[in-house]
């Protein structure tokens, strides 16, 4: 007997028919003798509609009211899922965030989980009752509904798995696993059977939209075995057909590069002719940090005159306007401020990378062969990212995917 947390995303519960299909999967898990907690997203499109209502009233919202509105989508799916399970003879009940309680801090709109009281749910699981939990929502100490930010249902699922000490957390989605890159860009992309948390984290944060970053972070920290599965295929009883996300182990290192990610959500900012003196980096980045803007890739070149320097970095595209404003207001001595949104960040990710030479060189030469200019480079132990012109993004992904031998064999 295992305790399984199964999370169904928006497309997996898009309508009543799909909710019923998801309930079938749960039923089979229960029949196999497992205790199951189901975490559900809003039916696809619902959250966007609710956010749209709020935005059409006011862009600067009281986020407590925003959370009250947008959390309804998951509440609806949770009740419907409980009904669909009961219809199949599976004992089930829904548990809203405030009923559990699933406690968060009061950073409404992007709250952090503080504490989950799973006592009552644990008791019911032991009585073979399935717990259905709306993802994305929690409750604050002031008894208001909070939400965890877009994609937060993955985080809800992993947090429930931690609170219940679950054996596995299955993430059902509209793809059947994590791929070496976006199959819409590279049809030859292969499904990855097993990937380390670290690699998944890089892929998730770099634009592979399968899992929310925070959920992978929590799973890694707490050692929750994660599995990404298709909700449209039958998997129970068969070999694991999705992607298993686990602790790094030796045989993973066979592949130097596990995947290629492409992110188009960053913008490039360049400060030309910054006076080169100690503390200048802090002067540039502290106003951004104060404004809550995450700076990602950074390069600094010494300018020809030897007295000034050029600094280039990337920020989230949605924060570009605020970033430029913050820089203009700050007391920084520079000649010119430039920005561009037509950039893409291409990354190669793999835990085996660190112990092998030539991985980076292959990336640079592959791009050079295609005539693609690299604007910024940044590296970590398990990834190398380059910023290039957005127009070349697909070409770069395809070329790298092939260069690192990731293409599917026909």
> What residue ranges bind a second copy (CB under 8 A)?
16, 19-20, 50, 53-54, 56-58, 61-62, 64-69, 72, 75-76, 78-80, 82-84, 86-87, 93-94, 96, 98-99, 143-145
Distance from chain centroid for Cα 40: 17
Task: Between 16 and 368, name the residue whose CB sits nearer to a second copy.
Answer: 16
| Dist. CA 152–CA 84, nearest whole Å | 23
Task: Between 15 and 391, name the residue whose CB sits nearer to a second copy.
Answer: 15
Task: Between 13 and 367, name the residue whose CB sits nearer to a second copy.
Answer: 13
Q: Are 259 and 179 in contact (CB under 8 A)?
A: yes
Classify residue 187 as exposed, middle or buried by CB count within 10 Å of its CB (0-12, 13-18, 19+).
Answer: exposed
Q: What's the half-sphere exposure (Cβ side, CA atoms, 13 Å) at 344?
A: 19
Task: Between 53 and 289, name the residue whose CB sits nearer to a second copy.
Answer: 53
| Dist. CA 104–CA 245, nearest whole Å | 26
User: Rounded to the nearest whole angstrom, what is the least distance from the CB of residue 145 to a second copy in the complex?
Assistant: 8
Q: What's the token pair of residue 221?
A: 């920290």
Task: Between 134 and 242, name the residue whose CB sits nearer to a second copy.
Answer: 134
User: Rounded to the nearest whole angstrom, what is the least distance from the CB of residue 142 to a second copy in the complex?
Assistant: 10
Task: Between 82 and 288, name the residue whose CB sits nearer to a second copy.
Answer: 82
The residue among 49, 46, 59, 61 whose CA lies nearest residue 16 is 46
User: Rounded to the nearest whole angstrom, what is the least distance from the CB of residue 20 to a second copy in the complex?
Assistant: 7
| Dist. CA 276–CA 333, nearest whole Å | 10
Rg of the chain on CA atoms, in Å: 23
Interhelix angle 63-70/46-57, nearest 10 degrees: 150
Task: Between 62 and 233, name the residue whose CB sits nearer to a second copy.
Answer: 62
The residue among 355, 345, 404, 400 whose CA lies nearest residue 382 is 355
User: Rounded to the nearest whole angstrom, what is the least distance from the CB of residue 378 to a second copy in the complex?
Assistant: 36
User: Rounded to the nearest whole angstrom, what is the least distance from the CB of residue 52 to a second copy in the complex?
Assistant: 9
User: Rounded to the nearest whole angstrom, what is the least distance from the CB of residue 43 to a second copy in the complex?
Assistant: 9
* SS3 category, 60: coil
User: Rounded to the nearest whole angstrom, what is the least distance from the CB of residue 169 to a second copy in the complex?
Assistant: 24
Task: Between 58 and 318, name the residue whose CB sits nearer to a second copy.
Answer: 58
Task: Between 77 and 308, name the residue whose CB sits nearer to a second copy.
Answer: 77
Helix ranges (H only) for 164-295 are 197-205, 213-222, 280-290
Q: What's the token pair of residue 398?
A: 């395809």
Strand partners, 262: 346
Residues in the chain: 410
User: Rounded to the nearest whole angstrom, what is the least distance from the CB of residue 109 to a second copy in the complex?
Assistant: 13
* SS3 category, 276: coil
User: Rounded to the nearest whole angstrom, what is the least distance from the CB of residue 341 to a second copy in the complex?
Assistant: 24
| Dist. CA 345–CA 341, nearest whole Å | 11
């Amino acid at each position: 007997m295992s305790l399984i947390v199964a999370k169904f995303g928006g497309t997996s519960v898009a309508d009543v028919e799909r909710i019923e299909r998801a309930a079938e999967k749960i039923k089979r898990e229960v029949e196999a003798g497992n205790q199951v907690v189901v975490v559900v997203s809003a039916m696809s499109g619902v959250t966007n509609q609710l956010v749209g209502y709020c935005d059409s009233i006011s862009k600067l919202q009281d986020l407590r009211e925003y959370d009250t509105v947008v959390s309804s989508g998951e509440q609806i799916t949770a009740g419907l899922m409980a009904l669909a399970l009961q219809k199949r003879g599976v004992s089930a009940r829904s548990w809203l965030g405030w009923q559990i309680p699933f406690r968060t801090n009061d950073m409404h709109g992007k709250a952090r989980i503080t504490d989950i009281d799973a006592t009552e749910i644990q008791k019911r699981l032991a009585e073979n009752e399935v717990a259905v939990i709306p993802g994305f929502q929690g409750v604050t100490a002031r008894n208001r509904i909070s939400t965890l930010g877009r994609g937060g249902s993955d985080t809800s699922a992993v947090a429930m798995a931690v609170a219940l000490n679950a054996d596995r957390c299955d993430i059902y989605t509209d793809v059947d696993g994590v791929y070496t890159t976006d199959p819409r860009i590279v049809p030859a992309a292969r499904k990855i059977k097993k990937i380390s948390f670290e690699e998944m984290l890089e892929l998730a944060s770099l634009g592979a939209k399968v899992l929310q970053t925070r959920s992978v972070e929590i799973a890694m920290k707490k050692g929750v075995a994660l599995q990404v599965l298709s909700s449209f295929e039958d998997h129970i009883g068969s070999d694991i057909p999705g992607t298993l996300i686990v602790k790094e182990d030796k045989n993973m290192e066979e592949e130097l590069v596990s995947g290629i990610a492409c992110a188009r959500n960053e913008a490039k900012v360049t400060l030309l002719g910054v006076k080169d003196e100690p503390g200048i980096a802090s002067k540039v980045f502290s106003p951004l940090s104060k404004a809550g803007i995450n700076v990602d890739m950074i390069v600094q070149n010494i300018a020809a005159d030897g007295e000034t320097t050029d600094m280039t970095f990337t920020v989230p595209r949605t924060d570009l306007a605020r970033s430029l404003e913050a820089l203009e207001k700050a007391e920084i001595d520079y000649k010119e401020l430039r920005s561009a949104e037509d950039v893409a960040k291409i990354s190669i990710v793999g835990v085996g990378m660190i112990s092998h030479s030539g991985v980076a060189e292959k990336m640079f030469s592959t791009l050079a062969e295609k005539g693609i200019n690299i604007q910024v480079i940044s590296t970590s132990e398990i990834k190398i990212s380059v910023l290039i012109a957005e127009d070349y993004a697909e070409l770069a992904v395809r070329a790298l995917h092939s260069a690192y031998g990731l293409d599917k064999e026909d």
